[in-house]
Amino acid sequence: TAFTADRTVPFAGTISQAHSSVRGVFKDTLGFKLANKDNEWIVMEKGLVSPRFLTWLYHAALVICLAGTLMTYLFAFEDTLTIYPGQPKTIKTKSIGRVQSFWKKEHIEDGFSVQLDEFSPEYFQTPKLDYPKDKKSRLAMGLGWKEPAYAIKEDALTPKAWKSRIKIITNGRAAIEKTIDVNDPLKYDGYTFYQEGYEQKVKLRLYNSPIAIEAKTDEEIFIPGIESPVKFASMKTGTLYKIDGTTEKITPSSRITQKAKSPDSGGAVITLGSSTIIDNVRITFADIDTAAVISYRYDPGFTILWWGGLAVVVAMCLRFYCAFYTASYNVSEENGAVCLNIFIRAKGLGADKERILDRLEKNLRNISATTASVADRQWI
């Protein structure tokens, strides 16, 4: 391969001395390695990783990513579980992987179940600015003469965390146990379990009857003796973190609305253990059950895709930022003068071709001057 030289450096010596000198500077001073010496131009290289290897790695990583994507497409599935404490549920998928659907008609049942030990929601108080109504107080607050005041309403609670302590049961024994929340899932045997939400059921007693009626919150229910359906709003339970740093247990309370009544009527508010009367029917809020809604996903291609993607990013970063040099040189002789022809190709944002050429030329001129001085002394 012929190159157009970036620098031509005259050398006061023989062709053999020129070859030895330039190769010595490349290897010992600049850290280059010999790549090819069998052609007219001798090729040397310097860099952390060869671009050829990075190109191979990049394309191999893309193939790995495609394999991971294919695995996900064929075998991945996901579903949700609504689990009440002490009532384990076996994994049953409604939407299964495309390949499994050829030999599994309804669902897949794996050999383990998920049990909820406790659902622990946490909330913190959210103060709101108590903005004064009169103009003078507003002006004083705006000018900084009066400290702003904040009010805390009983229902002004913001979710802090929804935590579920779950365990995986296999062969009647707990294989793994963990408290999960929205950003901290549980991983087991290729499955990932996420905290998604919760579901509530209220237990009601009519006229102090020992038999309780169950009703899901935010769903209408017909209660004997009441003409129109009623609905119990979902409620906050768990631990309240107060502004003063203390904590307390939240007393569950729910607003009851009737379909037949105007939405502006508001509805009655009932707390745990209390009673209210609707259409001459006495209703007692006896208890509440809270279930955790757990979503889970099985994806055998995730790990493959993750490592493939990491390899793509690493290859691209090394290719773009790491310096790599390919230097080619030959020695020519014209009219009795020996010249070093040098060509350098630089790749990567960290490469500095001119700096390498300057260092190379400086070292070669010093060697050439030394060689000429020795030759002069020998001639004398």
Task: Name residue 189's beta-bridge partners.
Answer: none
Cα 50 from Cα 41, distance rounded (Å): 20
Alpha carbon distance 76, 97 (integer Å): 5
Label residue 103 exposed, middle or buried (CB < 10 Å: 0-12, 13-18, 19+): exposed
Joined tokens for residue 127: 């103060």
Q: What element of type H or E holds 136?
A: helix 135-142
Closest listed residue to residue 271, CA positions, set 249, 293, 300, 302 = 249
User: So what's the pLDDT on residue 98?
Assistant: 63
Helix H or strand E encompassing 129: strand 128-129
Q: For the structural domain made of 7-48+322-379, what CATH number should be given? A: 3.30.310.80
Q: Is the sign of the CA dihedral 8, 10, 356, 344 positive or negative?
A: positive
CA distance 93 to 31: 60
- Regarding beta strands 337-347 and 186-188, do their DSSP bridges make them parallel or antiparallel, or are they unpaired? unpaired
Question: Per-domain residue ranges for the chain?
Answer: 7-48+322-379, 67-199+292-306, 201-289
Return phi, psi of residue 52, to 5°.
-65, -45
164 close to 292: Cβ distance less than 8 angstroms: yes
C-beta separation of 320 from 43 below 8 A? no
CATH T-level fold of 67-199+292-306: Tick-borne Encephalitis virus Glycoprotein; domain 1 (2.60.98)
Q: Which amino acid is at 17?
A: Q
Burial class (CB in 10 A: 0-12, 13-18, 19+), 332: middle
Q: What is the pTM of this model?
A: 0.69
Per the listing, tokens 């009703």 go with: 215
Residue pair 360/354 in contact (Cβ under 8 Å)? The answer is no
Is the separation of the CB atoms in 232 and 256 below 8 Å?
Answer: yes
d(CA 254, CA 251): 10
Query: Could you tell me the two tokens for 241?
Result: 């973190």
Asked whether the domain spanning 67-199+292-306 has the same topology as the one spanning 7-48+322-379, the reply is no
**Tens digit of pLDDT at every position of the chain (380 positions):** 567 888 888 888 888 888 889 889 999 999 999 988 877 889 999 998 888 899 999 999 999 999 999 999 888 888 899 999 989 998 876 556 666 665 555 555 667 899 999 999 999 888 776 777 777 777 777 777 777 766 667 667 888 999 999 999 998 899 999 999 988 999 998 899 999 999 999 999 998 788 889 999 999 999 888 888 999 999 999 999 988 889 999 999 988 888 766 555 557 888 998 999 888 889 999 999 999 999 999 998 999 999 999 999 999 999 899 999 999 998 888 777 888 899 999 998 989 999 999 999 899 888 888 876 654 444 44
